[in-house]
């Protein structure tokens, strides 16, 4: 099972991303990414990451799709990898359309999942 720990619930993923996840991992379970207060210090973020680590261990997924607030991901990734979990991110192609001087439309198209360095 793929645990999706991001700000983007899998129910909103494009069909290509959902199919890639189901083909590789069998099912998808969402875990909402925590709201990290911008005023939090490093120790606060580490405590949140440690709690998420414990919660993830209870679920025991095959892989974790982890994307979101950088210091949280940076704190949690090594814990998960040391425990033997495959941690991945999704890659996209980004296209930008300049509509006017003040308006831009961005479109992100899923391409594939990529493993983080340091995986077991």
Tens digits of pLDDT across the chain (120 residues): 999 999 999 999 999 999 999 999 999 999 999 999 999 999 999 999 999 999 999 999 999 999 999 999 999 999 999 999 999 999 999 888 888 989 988 888 999 999 999 887
Q: Which residues pair with 114 in a beta bridge?
A: 89
- Residue 96: its pLDDT value, please? 87
Q: What is the pTM of this model?
A: 0.88
List the strands of the sheet with 28-32, edge to edge.
28-32, 2-6, 63-66, 86-98, 104-115
């Amino acid at each position: 099972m793929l645990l999706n720990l991001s700000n983007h619930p899998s129910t909103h993923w494009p069909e290509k991303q959902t199919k890639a996840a189901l083909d590789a991992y069998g099912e998808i379970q969402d875990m909402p990414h925590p709201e990290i207060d911008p005023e939090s210090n490093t120790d606060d973020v580490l405590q949140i990451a440690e709690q998420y680590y414990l919660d993830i261990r209870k679920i025991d997924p095959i892989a974790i799709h982890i994307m979101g607030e950088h210091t949280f991901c940076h704190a949690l990734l090594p814990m998960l990898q040391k425990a033997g979990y495959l941690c991945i991110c999704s890659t996209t192609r980004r296209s930008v359309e300049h509509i006017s001087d003040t308006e831009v439309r961005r479109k992100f198209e899923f391409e594939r999942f990529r493993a983080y360095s340091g995986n077991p």
